Structure 1
Amino acid sequence: MKGKTVIITGASTGLGKAIATLFIEKGSNLIINSATEANLYRTYQEFGSPSNVIPVTGDISQQEVAEKLVNVAVEKFGAVDVLVNNAGVFQPQPFLEVKEADLDRFLSINLKGTFFTSQAAIRQMLRQAGGSIINTGTVLVEHAIAGFPSAAPVSSKGAIHALTRQLAAEFGKDNIRVNTIAPGIIRSPLQGKIGVENVESLAGLHLLEKIGEPDDIAEAAYYLATADFVTGETLNVAGGHTIGHKFG
């Protein structure tokens, strides 16, 4: 990945920041994005404000932001080799309490953001005759939890899983690979945002009986970015969450 150009949405904190950190270490050129300018530039400064990292603020639910990310990448570095669709929102909410505005929020940021950013990137990747897109889903698409009501965000993430397979089918002939990472419970700021005060208490949901780390997701993203014979797959990085249960 040295010298390759990578766009990472939602890169200012948590998983996106860890992914960006690893790709910087590997010598990639980065376009990092967040909807919150202060957070994005704080992270950029933590990276040392390197010349091969360009921060671009914007809400990826807006199609023009997707196009801007790609345009900046091409203008600054001449290509879009990898797109990591990491930006998203997730909040548990009982199904019967979901309002139209709630559902619209998840669909706009999670699905539309991934959809239109991928669309803009694929247009460029077709010109280059190849590229890799890495989407962010969730293990809850395959393995729901009764005590964690999240029909609205999971619906939007399920659509991303389906989109991954369809894009892989449509653009495989063009050497464009599209895959999804489905994280389990990862130690990140998201846990606090959804009201989880003690993330370690959830370790038992994983067969490995531990919580994942942001670096686990970063390493998965790097693998998918470089795996030339993998497309249309959902890589569960979840400590066995989807495989079985532990009793007693």
Structure 2
Amino acid sequence: MEAIWQGLVQAFLLIIKLNPGVMEVVTLTLKVCGLATAISILIGVPLGIFLALKAFPGRQVVVSLVNTGMGMPPVVVGLVVSFLLWRSGPLGYFGLIYTPAAMVIAQALIAAPLITGLTMAAIQQLPRGLKIQVLALGATPGQLYWTLLKEARLGILAAVIAGFGGVISEVGAATMVGGNIMHQTRVLTTATVMEVSRGHFDVAMALSFILLGLSFAVTFALTVLQQRERTGKANKRRFLRFFRS
């Protein structure tokens, strides 16, 4: 209990004093996780909608790969990305290994299957007749996708929350492709592991609390947006039932 209290006090002091080292790590964490989440959204949401609506040969294989990716150990992703980006690897020419860009790539690959799978499930849970009704009204394919996206936005927001949670808590792949280099690729998770290995448990506890606070703040903002949408839909239904009665 004393270690937890010391960690809380240390975290408070580091934040209040705007410790340059901690602020640098927090800033890089936000940049890497934010960009990785954004890329995974751009990949996962359209792919999830496509898999939910389209039937094509090999679809079950693709869906199985997505579902497998949802539970893929991050260290496996880190190993694959490291192999590709090593100087002797297929993409070694670009010199991305041990850079924030490599961390973004690895974390996007971790989050993309989560967002794809959960988006696909959200679209599939919509009423079956909705697609037919929208097309019967003369909607184009783009209008159809946009309508389904709006109707499934609560589930898709849940997918985004899961994707962000997957990248901000990741440590194995970030260490493998980033190297935990000071002033370059050190983020909150890798810094915490490093401080534990050094025996600096108070600093590690402080970094953990900062990481938890950061994760909670972003997740809370997304949750508020999600629940506001849910409340708005519920109020709309009650409003329509009132006037119909």
Q: TM-score, normalised by structure 1?
A: 0.27
Higher relative contact order (CA 8 A, sep 6+): 2
Give the TM-score normalised by structure 2.
Answer: 0.27
Structure (1 or 2) with the greater strand fraction: 1
Greater Rg, structure 1 or structure 2?
A: 2
Higher helix residue share? 2
